Structure 1
Amino acid sequence: MFRWISLLALIIFCSQANAYRVEPMVAEMEPIGKRAQMSMRIDNTSQVPLTVELYPLSMTMDEHGNETIEAADNDLLVIPVTAIIKPGRSQSVMVRYLGDPSIAQSKSYRIAVKQVKVEESGANSGQMGLLLQFNTLINVRPKNTEPKLAIKSIKSKDKKWIIEVENSGNSYGRLSDTNWTVSDGIESKYLKGIDISKLIAGTLILPYSTRFFEMQPLNKFNVANLKIDIEEGN
């Protein structure tokens, strides 16, 4: 009996966990012109109506990747802010940048898409549920801005490499958009962006900032003599 109860709970959990999806999860906009506006889509993949609320948030990040978010209603216009989506249907959401059009560096935002609990009557009122929240990432990037990434230090800690990366550019950057030449004077290896993303979790670096990343070590490399050269990827 316990086995069947556990299986039923898992089925309900999974059906709720896949209740909806949001696309795109990552996007880039510009502070002025046609690209100052974009569309998102919320798909209700469940068999019951879905109610969601949307919140624009500004995002900053410290050197360890910890985020600080604040309400950004003055910078981003989101329409609608609340939507009720029928089973199997989709809702289009308009996002428009209303902030300073003359910003000199990229700015990062999140659109929080939060499922709202709706009280139900009847047979479904006591059903187990899991409320989901998706936090999309939007980078507002002016034209003629670019990241400038460089490795500042490499250390070993708890069987991981700790890579300090500086972005001295005026745009956000991603390690997954770069290629690396890794060498310790004896061993040498060339890593493309897709390889780097498998070794490092989270590759975003905001402009004029430094981040420390944990990286899976490469076999046979001596971290004491390690050097990493970064170049822009294709």
Structure 2
Amino acid sequence: MTFLTILGRRARASALLFVAALALTVPALNSPAYAMRVSPMVVEMESRGTDATARIEVQNINPGNLAFETRVFRMAIDAEGEITETPADEDFLIFPPQGVLPAGGRQVVRLQWLGPAEPDKSQSYYVSVEQLPVKLDPVATEQIGAQVQILYNMRALVVVAPPGAKPDVSATKVEQVFYQPPTPPGAAEQPEMQDGVAVTLTNTGRRHAMMANFSWQLVGTDKDGKWLRVDVSPEELTRAVGTGYVPAQGERIFRLPIPGFGPGPIKLTFGQ
């Protein structure tokens, strides 16, 4: 649950956590599970100059060696947030492309942009850090039988923008809706329909935008026709929509669990 500030009245709204599946598990008859951490999870680069290079740190946070390799996927995202991936290892020089970390070990992975120096607009990628199987201890396997190894695949969002390019984002549609929230991983039943607000953001600029970096202010009327204003902080937006990523020259629809608005027009403005 989270509090959304409502001037003119107060309401409590449930905050659903929309989280991308950054860790994928692959069971196998192997050794005990190991895990890793990748940071940062969002990297913003430019296509030339000093910002054409970046660094991602891989950390082994469990006992035992951790072997990993990196892969790159170009990402296209539609208005509803559906992602299409295309292998794109050739767009970056990555060093080292693979490695083995001891328990508690860290490795800085360097990214160098190899694409065009002047792309038409921001290009979006996932840099995938994939855990590799490690050699089993045959003695332990004989003593305790079949074991399970969980292989983690952590993904960092990497966006490469043309130097000097800027986003130009506007709210082209804001309306009250009843919507079906995503089913949480492992849940047996779908969540109930949610009273909320659907926001369509259109970016006509050549640079992507991370709209959860801003506060959002929604002004309209409630179901009784009375004036209603809701202020949503960047922290609340991050919990609800992640980064609020809007691609360059693209569109995204975000559904927020903000109850109380009526069917009338809703105005959305952004603040720092």
Change over 3 Å in CA distance of 1:94–1:199 after alignment to 2: closer
Change over 3 Å in CA distance of 1:120–1:104 after alignment to 2: same
| Aligned residue identity for 1:139 | V
Structure 2 distance, partners of 1:21, 1:124, is: 27
Question: How does 1:24-43 map onto structure 2 within 5 Å?
Answer: 24-43=40-59
Structure 2 distance, partners of 1:40, 1:193, is: 24
Per-residue CA deviation, residues 125-176 of structure 1 (Å, 9 max, x unaligned), is: 4322211100111111222222222222224133333222211121111221
What is the TM-score with the length of structure 2 in the denominator?
0.73
Superposed CA RMSD in Å reads 2.0
- On the 8 A contact 1:183/1:227 being kept in 2, the answer is yes
1:213 corresponds, among 249, 254, 265, to 254
2:139 counterpart residue number: 123
- Is structure 2 residue 269 aligned with structure 1 residue 230? yes
- On the 8 A contact 2:212/2:244 being kept in 1, the answer is yes
What is the TM-score with the length of structure 1 in the denominator?
0.84
Change over 3 Å in CA distance of 1:138–1:124 after alignment to 2: farther
CA displacement at 1:202 relative to structure 2 = 5.3
Change over 3 Å in CA distance of 1:116–1:205 after alignment to 2: same
CA displacement at 1:49 relative to structure 2 = 0.7
| Aligned residue identity for 2:197 | W
Larger relative contact order, structure 1 or 2 (CA cutoff 8 Å, min sep 6):
2
CA displacement at 1:201 relative to structure 2 = 4.9
Change over 3 Å in CA distance of 1:141–1:133 after alignment to 2: same
Change over 3 Å in CA distance of 1:151–1:34 after alignment to 2: same
Partner SS for 2:33 = helix
Structure with greater helix percent: 1
2:154 counterpart residue number: 134
Change over 3 Å in CA distance of 1:172–1:35 after alignment to 2: same
After the TM superposition, which parts of structure 1 deviate over 4 Å for at least 4 consecutive aligned residues? none
Unpaired runs of 5+ residues, structure 1, are 1-14
Per-residue CA deviation, residues 96-130 of structure 1 (Å, 9 max, x unaligned), is: 00000011321111110011112313234432221
Structure 2 distance, partners of 1:200, 1:86, is: 35
Question: How does 1:144-183 map onto structure 2 within 5 Å?
Answer: 144-153=164-173, 154-158=175-179, 159=194, 160-183=196-219
2:235 corresponds, among 194, 198, 201, to 194
Structure 2 distance, partners of 1:100, 1:149, is: 25
Unpaired runs of 5+ residues, structure 2, are 1-31, 180-193, 222-226
Change over 3 Å in CA distance of 1:202–1:65 after alignment to 2: farther
- Residue identity over aligned pairs, in percent, reads 22
CA displacement at 1:57 relative to structure 2 = 1.4
Partner SS for 1:16 = coil
Structure 2 distance, partners of 1:191, 1:33, is: 36
Count the aligned residue pairs. 216
Partner SS for 2:133 = coil
- On the 8 A contact 1:178/1:230 being kept in 2, the answer is no
